[in-house]
Structure 1
């Protein structure tokens, strides 16, 4: 009952005309940010942060939060329709784009919108009920535990890759190597830059994502040398009842995974979408279809993505620790307004805390209205013939890449990764594990160094801590299971061969 009372108190503040306007503006801007290649919530919030000086405290924070989780909604559109992802929609490219190729773009976007709504709603309930205590869970994880968690993320490539386990791990390690390019933050030395000043700050995630997915896909389509459009035929938006029943379980699983991983520093939407996709590929009744255009491949990752975006506010508001760059900017907005996020925030500013939580559900409704009914509008754009549309896509890719650092070198880097991505497609290699390795690699290195410094170079520290030891044991059991299944399959083939010849 106390939770209902607190939420009712929050809705009193969130449903004022002024805060409703700020929430709507944040959701619209966030959705547009998600649609444009390269431009993400981090850059947008950075540009709009000075506005918080002149806006009311509650309205400013509600608007910035709306931009963040609104972008998680919007970026699925470009990923599903054009295979041009942001960092938080990489997994949506796999099954979402396959559904587009099968003429089910409307169903894919409807699934992403509804699943995001479910994920956001579950995460808001978690945020409202467990925020005062659940943030303490993040404090239980030390450097060794985060290292083990990153390794679990690497193991997930066996479920998300369309090729073999060996190919998936190889692509993941390639991504880790790409993540090491640039200046070492600990020593200040340049690594793998080949003397090029443009690589001093490392490889841009935007360049890598747009190149390996967006430009590579455009090149592949042009190489087919046939007149085509990305979307043909009637727009079938509403799923059938059997299809809708497939959305709900996957979305609920993704919501739980995303709600948990959103709490952990270094976790967030990026890891949550991979974990939810891996879980669906393991436990779903339709796991054999995932990877070739299954509803579950869109629903689970969309729900996890949105849920993680909401619960990432828990460590910020309950213990005062931002878990990613966007949350660091949100913390800056709090401080600008004279509010220090932390354990005392709920007691000192209950109207602000519960108003922000309630506004997230209001924003959830705004985003559902923006994305689901407007699917027909988005798809009408993609009825343009491809030979007319692809120059526009390339133009926005270049604009998005250039806008990150205002550097032409980033455009050249994107073109280079486009060539690499096209080569991977011709070799039947999946770039998604490489993206996971690129994102997790630098974080793994940072936490590994911390663990080694604390333990004075002893590797036994990974087996002393209960959480890391448990995660490493799970990884060991996974590989043992894979070896057992491979051995049994080979033995079955060996036994069947003489019988077939006889």
Structure 2
């Protein structure tokens, strides 16, 4: 409560308010552009913070992070392209609602859920910083391995009607994740002498190719406006009845986002997928998921926006950046002579309180900026398909090129798009591939580090209470999904509408 009271005077600081609005606006635009991740947007702004006051600089970078996490849902809903890794789970039902002429409502649910998740995350950051940070320190390499397995267990419920196809799709993602430098020995793997592959393949390249480019290829073979429903170019927030329905998935997303955010390395991607999975598990309308369920948007968006705030807990309390974005924020602290950690709360308490105030301003600024620019986005999507697809393709290619300013990334994305088109044709789901790619490094690196620590003794994975709990929950997820759906591994996949939505 004392932290809340100390934060209030900073809300009247005009320079801090301006920095927060600039940051959140740049963040939303950066997150909405395919290939421009939150960390890239923050990195682009970092040089401009040198001449700023420390509090204003930190606030602008943090606000950029918050805005980018929300902004990733805009292209996910409008053009089936997740602007950020965490927005991949929003694609399923967000784009399906857009196809039904409900793009305005889908964007409104995303903004509304993102706002609630951000407010919840900020309260946790202010009031529960030290207890949550202590929980994060309890995670050892075996626990992080178990966390990755828990994330992969979501595949059991994201595989459509054929778990076998889901596992094969996940295996594709895990194989791609092994490309690059070995996390333990440092040797090169599957690089074929190409130096561009030393750092591995960026998940965003595969995601944009699978979701966006394959969609453009599929639309190229259909007539324009055959099944297209025009969306009204304005934001529609959920009414009272729908808002009540969204309380449960938002609570699930907020809880998972809080848990995942404080663990370095977990991030919004795992949180959003797990939130989507659990929202469907506990929903009374399971059959709507994948076809345009509002709950399928509310849960992941609440989760990844909660993570945007709670991810700062280990950074502020212990100086541990848990993601690329928080690492850049750490750089912002160091540029201004500030060292995040326990002493920061004693020596530079004003910076901490100013950051809390700036985040609060950024959250409300996110709503204002979103309302202002999203109708323009909806209007653009309703233009003739030929012009729209050409614009989307140009946007995708330019966004991918800017990641490393090289054509190799563009080639990878084009290959992923062609591969995704054939996956769509064979009715393989996309999301297990994305999960395998995103979690592959987390699982492999911590598995091998654990074996190094134990001298190749596998019992280390059941010697940590956190690891035991996570592995048990993962087993329950998989077993429950098999029992609930009552299918075998080799059951053929009927061509249902739900399978079509999940597969592509």
Q: Check whether TM > 0.5.
A: yes
Provide the residue aligned with 2:253 in structure 1: 254
Cα separation, partners in 2 of 1:100 and 1:134, compared to 1, 3 Å = same
Provide the residue aligned with 2:31 in structure 1: 34
Please list every run of 5 or more consecutive structure 1 residues that lacks an aligned counterpart in the other structure. Answer: 491-502
Cα separation, partners in 2 of 1:373 and 1:407, compared to 1, 3 Å = closer
Q: Kindly report which structure 2 residues correspond to 1:55-134, keeping only aligned pairs within 5 A, or say none.
A: 55-85=52-82, 86-134=84-132
Give the whole-Å Cα distance in 1 for the aligned partners of 2:287 and 2:150.
22
Please list every run of 5 or more consecutive structure 2 residues that lacks an aligned counterpart in the other structure. Answer: 490-504
1:481 is displaced (CA, Å) by: 3.8
Give the whole-Å Cα distance in 2 for the aligned partners of 1:477 and 1:210.
32
The more displaced of 74-83 and 356-365 is 356-365
1:235 is displaced (CA, Å) by: 4.7
Give the whole-Å Cα distance in 2 for the aligned partners of 1:364 and 1:420.
38
Give the whole-Å Cα distance in 1 for the aligned partners of 2:228 and 2:404.
31
Provide the residue aligned with 2:147 in structure 1: 149
Q: Is the 8 A contact 1:158 1:164 kept in 2?
A: no
1:233 is displaced (CA, Å) by: 4.7
Of residues 4, 8, 14, the one that matches 1:7 is 4
Cα separation, partners in 2 of 1:386 and 1:229, compared to 1, 3 Å = farther
TM-score, structure 2 as length reference: 0.92
Q: Is the 8 A contact 1:211 1:418 kept in 2?
A: yes
Cα separation, partners in 2 of 1:481 and 1:74, compared to 1, 3 Å = closer
Cα separation, partners in 2 of 1:134 and 1:477, compared to 1, 3 Å = closer
Provide the residue aligned with 2:499 in structure 1: none
Q: Kindly report which structure 2 residues correspond to 1:120-269, keeping only aligned pairs within 5 A, or say none.
A: 120-227=118-225, 232-235=230-233, 237-269=236-268
1:264 is displaced (CA, Å) by: 0.5
Give the whole-Å Cα distance in 2 for the aligned partners of 1:40 and 1:159.
27
Q: Kindly report which structure 2 residues correspond to 1:393-432, keeping only aligned pairs within 5 A, or say none.
A: 393-432=392-431
Larger Rg over CA atoms = 1
1:293 maps to 2:292: yes
Provide the residue aligned with 1:476 in structure 2: 475
Provide the residue aligned with 1:499 in structure 2: none
Once the two structures are superposed, residues 413-460 of structure 1 have per-residue CA deviations (whole angstroms, 9 ceiling, x without a partner) of 111110011111111112111111101101111111211111111001
Provide the residue aligned with 1:498 in structure 2: none
Q: Is the 8 A contact 2:177 2:200 kept in 1?
A: yes
1:196 is displaced (CA, Å) by: 3.8
Provide the residue aligned with 1:439 in structure 2: 438
The more displaced of 293-302 and 6-15 is 6-15
Give the whole-Å Cα distance in 2 for the aligned partners of 1:15 and 1:132.
27
CA root-mean-square deviation: 1.9
Q: Is the 8 A contact 2:289 2:296 kept in 1?
A: yes
1:230 is displaced (CA, Å) by: 6.4
1:470 is displaced (CA, Å) by: 2.0
The more displaced of 57-66 and 372-381 is 372-381
Give the whole-Å Cα distance in 2 for the aligned partners of 1:173 and 1:95.
24
1:488 is displaced (CA, Å) by: 9.1
Give the whole-Å Cα distance in 2 for the aligned partners of 1:441 and 1:337.
35
The number of residue pairs the alignment matches comes to: 487
Once the two structures are superposed, residues 52-74 of structure 1 have per-residue CA deviations (whole angstroms, 9 ceiling, x without a partner) of 22110000000000111100111
